[in-house]
Amino acid sequence: MTEEIIIAGFGGQGVLSMGKIMAYSGIMQDMEVSWMPSYGPEMRGGTANVMVILSDERISSPILRSFDTAIILNQQSLDKFEQAVKPGGTLIYDGNGITRHPERTDIDIYRIDATEEATKMESSKTFNMIVLGGYLKIKSVLKMENVLTGLKKSLPERYHHLIPMNKKALSRGMEIIQKTMQENHS
Amino acid sequence: MADNISVKDIIKPENLVHKRSSVMTDNIMHYCPGCGHGTTHQILAEVIEEMGIQQETIGITPVGCSVLMYNYLDIDMQEAAHGRAPALATAIKRLLPEKYVFTYQGDGDLAAIGTAETIHSCNRGENILIIFINNGIYGMTGGQMAPTTLEGMKSSTTPYGRDVKLMGNPLKITDIVATLPGTYYVTRQSVHKPGNVRKTKKAIRKAFEYQKHNKGTCFIEVVSNCPSGWKMTPVESNKWMEENMFPFYPLGDFKVPEE
Amino acid sequence: MEKELRLMKGNEAIAEAAIRAGTDAYFGYPITPQSEVLEYLTAEKPHERTGMVVLQAESEVAAINMVYGGAGCGKKVMTSSSSPGVSLKQEGISYIAGAELPCLIVNVVRGGPGLGTIQPAQSDYFQATKGGGHGDYRLIVLAPSSVQEMADFVELAFDLAFKYRNPAMILSDGAIGQMMEKVWLKPQKERKKELPAWATTGKTPDRERNIITSLDLDSYKQEQFNIKLQEKYREIQEKEVRFETFQCDDAEYLLVAYGTSARVSQKAIQLAREEGIKAGLLRPITLFPFPSTEISEMANRIKGILSVEMSAGQMVEDVRLSVNGRVPVEHFGRMGGIIPTPEEVVENLKTKIIGE
């Protein structure tokens, strides 16, 4: 099993750290992982993206043109990566600030209004964890318990008191997607 | 009778006024007659000998006339790329902090191509001794303008004299180095007369003593001559140095620790 | 201490591996995309862990000359930089090779020429493998293609450098430097206390003085020294070639690629085989010594070779020399910081080699 993911958004949205937590979670599940960021001045405020690969086998190219899953957090990234999702793949996006929504019909598209939800929860910093929660619900690649261990591993000890809040955000993301899935089925 | 006096009669310990230091090798020096390098090498060797630190001393030679200094001093030495001696010294001293480390550099090496290494090693206060020979000319390459060439002074690349409007001003790097917090002892000396030789030797000794106590960078400029490059006899060159170099590069201490 | 599993950037892996390999000193200067090496080392306080010296120099020029000084004392000393910075180091590298000093230089390559880009490239192959600075000399060049190899090659590079008294280089790129992967770190090694007999550590009465220099004004002696160097390089060529093959047994077409390009090419082979094209990969691990014999042998049983590099075509010259005209050898690469995609590699294999 190989899962090839792109996460893209603004610098400061937690794009890279979301990818890092996923990579850590993969390690907890004994998977091979790679985490390939865009880097440079663009990272300081502009767009940021990271390619994450989780696999049961040795990973060949860490740089890809098409992905199983795209996690998109702003309009520029949606414009850039919508076409990069493999047919039958998955696109998850935050609706905040999106004026042109995804149009493809050959992929599964999930909208998760994580920005809005994080504001409601009064913890805007856990926005990326809501998105990740949604991903966990949609794709059964990573297990929640491994994500929590991964989170613990990737955070310095002085931030460990934030883990319960992140856990709440992950669960909230899962709930939102659960609801969407049910609505789609009914 | 004079006819009966042999060499053995003259060379007696009680008649000895000067001897080569045991830290010097038997190699014949390549320096021109009258050049200050030989004297400076000798007093440096004498200090190492007198302090008994031959086993603890590592020297770094520059690119310039004294590039082959390692042929003359019987100590471990490294030969640096042009201007980089203080970088080598930085690493050597940090990796072997118990050793005595010195660089020996000319004006082109230290004050032109190696300015950055000079300034930054002094500014970091590396516990090394920098010996700076300033004769205002590139000796080894055949007498070209140095950063310290005086205004109006002739060289093979300033054949009509150094025009400061075109070629910039002579650089008083020792003055700059003395302003840096990392330097502990900064002085300017010469080796053209016995009194000056003794003073310079004393300065070298002091610098090594300070190094033993990790005081920071010690910097000794030796204003010297270059009979070949200046196209003068040794005696003429010393006179010219006193009349022209010393007024612009006055001898004396820049920074002396309070003791 | 046991082996330890971590998720690390390639640059961080180099730094941690350097501490664990018992490196005595690191001298560096910041430049993207390798600054994490110096940042990691300063944060880790290796001075407290092992006594390792870490210093941010005033320039790349100073840093490589600090390496010269430290290496001249027989210590395990290294520096790292990226392309423009490595250009600045070339003078020092030439002197280090000329003085026969062991050391490690890491180049996390970015696109050039000039200031170029901060994105990954492989356009410093010529510089790394053909000399780089002035004079007839070679570096031992290792090309990691994973974060694990970034860590592993630190110790390997030092071992080879000391074995042959020759500078060694890890030629990486911005992608491997910046990406994170799983890495197994070796237990901490002690810094070695015994220093080589040739090192300048202070002349003791039982030996002649040690002189570290690359100068000999006697042309005859200088030629003899050069002949000795060439013999050393020949020995390295005979004994130290390292490479990896991937699906070469039944291959009709061969890709030759190192570093990031090798990773991309591996994926390309998977895609090519899905289309029924029997492609294999030879990944040189040592770029000097280059696996010429192995490529030459392979040329006897394949139809053509594509050299995949993030450059205008540099390693392809060595591939052609190895093959000597027996089968077509072409180059495909992207430049300016662009990493080729596996799809592009397959397309180019078809158009340039298979002739579709």
**Closest to C229 (Cα-Cα) out of C291, C165, C169:** C165
Place of tokens 């910039």: B168
Query: What residues in chain B have per-residue pLDDT under 50?
Result: 1
Cβ of residue C59 closer than 8 Å to a chain B Cβ = yes
pLDDT of residue C1: 60
Contacts of C72 in chain B (CB under 8 A): 78, 88, 92
Q: Is residue A8 part of a domain?
A: yes
Question: CATH code at A46?
Answer: 3.40.920.10
pLDDT of residue A124: 84
Q: Is residue A35 part of a domain?
A: yes
Q: How far apart are CA A26 and CA B201, in angstroms?
A: 68
Domains in chain C: ranges and CATH: 4-202+228-238 (3.40.50.970), 244-354 (3.40.50.920)
Contacts of B75 in chain C (CB under 8 A): 202-203, 209
Q: Is residue B13 part of a domain?
A: no
3 state DSSP class of A38: coil
Contacts of A48 in chain C (CB under 8 A): none
Contacts of B89 in chain C (CB under 8 A): 69
Which of C73, C92, C204 has its CB closest to that of B55? C204
Q: How far apart are CA C337 and CA C335, in angstroms?
A: 6
List residues bridging with A91 in a β-sheet. A70, A109
Place of tokens 């190989």: A2
Q: Is residue B58 part of a domain?
A: yes
Which of C118, C180, C266 has its CB closest to that of A61? C266
Task: Please answer yes or no on whether A62 and C118 come within 8 Å at the CB atom.
Answer: no
pLDDT digits (tens, 9 = 90+) for C210-229: 999 999 999 999 999 999 99
pLDDT of residue B259: 67
**Residue B83 belongs to domain spanning:** 33-255
Write out the two tokens for B168: 């910039």
**Residue A86 belongs to domain spanning:** 2-114+139-156
Phi, then psi, of B124 in degrees rounded to 5: -75, -15
pLDDT of residue A186: 57
Write out the two tokens for A171: 């669960």
pLDDT digits (tens, 9 = 90+) for B161-173: 999 999 999 999 9
CA distance C7 to chain A (A): 7
Tell me the residues of chain C between 35 and 54 that have a Cβ less than 8 Å away from chain B.
Answer: 53
Tally of structural domains, chain A:
1
Q: Is residue B22 part of a domain?
A: no
Touching chains, A (3+ CB pairs < 8 A)? C
Q: How far apart are CA C313 and CA C134, in angstroms?
A: 22
Q: Is residue B59 part of a domain?
A: yes
Strand order in the sheet with A32-37: A108-111, A85-93, A67-72, A2-10, A47-55, A32-37, C180-185, C4-9
pLDDT of residue A49: 93
Taking every pair of Cα atoms in chain A, the longest distance, rounded to a whole number of angstroms, is 47
Q: Is residue B230 part of a domain?
A: yes
pLDDT digits (tens, 9 = 90+) for B231-255: 999 999 999 999 999 999 999 999 9
Query: What residues in chain C have per-residue pLDDT under 70?
Result: 1
Terminal-residue alpha carbon distance, chain A? 31
Contacts of B74 in chain C (CB under 8 A): 203, 209
Measured CA distances, B248 to A110, B42, B148, B170, B175 (Å): 80, 27, 10, 9, 12
Write out the two tokens for B158: 């300033």
Measured CA distances, C322 to A84, C294, C299, C315, C327 (Å): 39, 9, 9, 11, 11
Question: CATH code at B140?
Answer: 3.40.50.970
The CA R_g of chain C, rounded to the nearest whole Å, is 21
Query: What residues in chain A have per-residue pLDDT under 70?
Result: 40-46, 185-186
Tell me the residues of chain C between 163 and 222 that have a Cβ less than 8 Å away from chain B.
Answer: 200-205, 209-215
**A107, A85 Cβ separation under 8 angstroms:** yes
Tally of structural domains, chain B:
1
Task: Please answer yes or no on whether C59 and B116 come within 8 Å at the CB atom.
Answer: yes
Q: CB A38: neighbour CB atoms within 10 A?
A: 18
